[in-house]
Amino acid sequence: MICLPVRWGKGSYVAATASAECGTPRPPRLRDTGQSLSQENVDLVREAYANPFGGEVWLALVDKFVAADCVIEDRTLPDVAVGLRGPGAARAEAAHMLDVFEDVDYAIEELRELDDRVLVRVHGSAQGRGSGLRIVGTLGHLWTLRARKVVRFDVYGTWQEALDAVGLRE
């Protein structure tokens, strides 16, 4: 396995590897069970990761659960995905990622419930379409939900940046 430091946005580093053995099993798909609102938020977020990124089911979830005025701030792609709004923007960001990368995968490593927010440590991996280089790393995703709609989605290049954003420590 060859690992190289790769800068993937301001202050974020992930490992690039030539190995194809970077897959992570997906969490089981959960269904709505009429639980508390915060548990429903957690279940909704889990369902998003249980489906292939940019796939038909994932896009249907975007259309159903992303609010029209949802703000998307992806700090790993500051020139492309900062200040985006709504389901169309989420679809466009996914399309951009899938133009540049194949085998894009995000899997939950850790999940923290924070009232109307859900903080997720994510194992991300993808393979460059042109280079074939495998990109692997741990990111932080912060989901803010109201009335079963995603109203804000923040992507941080490292888990520590995500923890700092919500005032938590490892």
- Token pair of 29 as six digits: 């798909």
State pLDDT tens for residues 92-130: 888 888 999 999 999 999 999 998 999 999 999 999 999
pLDDT tens string 7-21: 333 333 333 333 333
pLDDT of residue 27: 38
Can you tell me which residue has the tokens 């804000």?
Answer: 152
Instruction: Single out the residue of 106, 144, 147, 110 nearest to residue 22, CA to CA.
Output: 106
Q: What pTM does this model have?
A: 0.76
* Rounded (5°) CA angle 121-154-3: 50
pLDDT digits (tens, 9 = 90+) for 78-100: 776 667 889 998 898 888 889 99
CATH topology for the 36-165 domain: Nuclear Transport Factor 2; Chain: A, (3.10.450)
Q: What is the pLDDT of residue 79?
A: 72
